[in-house]
Structure 1
């Protein structure tokens, strides 16, 4: 019977951000596929230490709590990410990781340029228009071809609603991370 990889128990760093999950084995030498939660998975590719937690539901895990997974290599392949970790040397070991949630410390994220933001920093920000009218709170971001779209949650007459605004300079005037607010050129009835 194949043995699952031996993983070192660890504490989740206080600045850890969930960046993806392991979906399946890739090949026979211990590589595995990763589903990144961002269209630009640079933080996932740059980090050499991933912290894993079992899937919240669905896939059965052979470990509990948080474990450290030292990464040998991670790279893009076609439309996915593939990775190879220390202690994972065959297909059975890679399959044992299926469903695991991947976290990396925020401190290992590459620096962003001017007018660039990590999606995780935008989630939860309030969005107002130029007149100061609240439009909602960023609940999610969607890659929609050449641009990203902000998905806002708000309430109207006691019912949860959703509003989408393209995250492009034509509509986004200012992102104030410190003030937890995004100002946009958008009206509530759009």
Structure 2
């Protein structure tokens, strides 16, 4: 079992606990990770409530069932021990996050990126990623007159030609009319 990072480090949510399952301390959670190995036995996690302080836990076992992940944590062996976990997030430190393959990005890394044209002209900032067509950037534009406008930019290579999530920018080559 590895040691958890300092709880003050930024946490990344990998699952959301929905409810207890059975009497032996298992919970039903929605997986927010594309990497099932995040739920391997012995993986240390933080259980973060909607309000309050996160607490450390270790995954004892996990399996996928009907689109959910069933989790059992070490030492939480009865329904009474997990009833209060509904609504908690299962988190790992940002430093323990899986590194995605080249040309794949986490949605939360795209949010906050400056969007600019190939010419360098700033279009706006990514405020969300919508699930349309595999991923669409919701870009907030602020016009010179102060008017705000949201526009949708498909997150595809033909349009989003360069992405640097570390420097927080996305360069686009939009087809005519996309930003109107």
TM range (shorter): 0.7 to 0.9
SS in 2 for 1:120: helix
In terms of mean alpha carbon deviation, does 179-188 or 111-120 score higher?
Answer: 179-188
| Partner Cα separation in structure 2 for residue 68 and residue 35 of structure 1 | 19
Residue of structure 1 equivalent to 2:141: 154
SS in 2 for 1:52: strand
SS in 1 for 2:161: strand
| Partner Cα separation in structure 1 for residue 15 and residue 147 of structure 2 | 31
Say whether the 8 Å CA contact 1:175–1:183 is kept in structure 2: yes
Match of residue 97, structure 2, among 89, 109, 128: 109
| Partner Cα separation in structure 1 for residue 69 and residue 148 of structure 2 | 35
SS in 2 for 1:138: strand
Residue of structure 1 equivalent to 2:179: 189
The aligned runs of 1:164-183 (5 Å cut-off) are 164-183=152-171
| Partner Cα separation in structure 2 for residue 16 and residue 44 of structure 1 | 14
When the two chains are superposed, the root-mean-square deviation of aligned CA atoms in Å is: 2.6
1:35 aligns with 2:30: yes
The 3 A distance-change label for structure 1 pair 52 and 161 is farther
The aligned runs of 1:60-79 (5 Å cut-off) are 64-79=52-67
Specify every segment of 5 or more residues in structure 2 that has no aligned partner in the other structure, as ranges: none
Say whether the 8 Å CA contact 1:13–1:105 is kept in structure 2: no
The Cα of 1:115 is off from its aligned counterpart by 0.6
How many matched pairs? Answer: 172
State the TM-score, normalized to the length of structure 2.
0.79
The Cα of 1:121 is off from its aligned counterpart by 1.7
CA deviation profile, 1:6-60 (whole Å, cap 9, x unmatched)? xxxx95141422344211112332211223445x25574358111122214xxxx
Residue of structure 2 equivalent to 1:7: none
Tell which has more relative contact order, 1 or 2 (C-alpha 8 A, sep 6+): 1
SS in 2 for 1:112: coil
Specify every segment of 5 or more residues in structure 1 that has no aligned partner in the other structure, as ranges: 1-9, 57-63
The 3 A distance-change label for structure 1 pair 95 and 103 is same
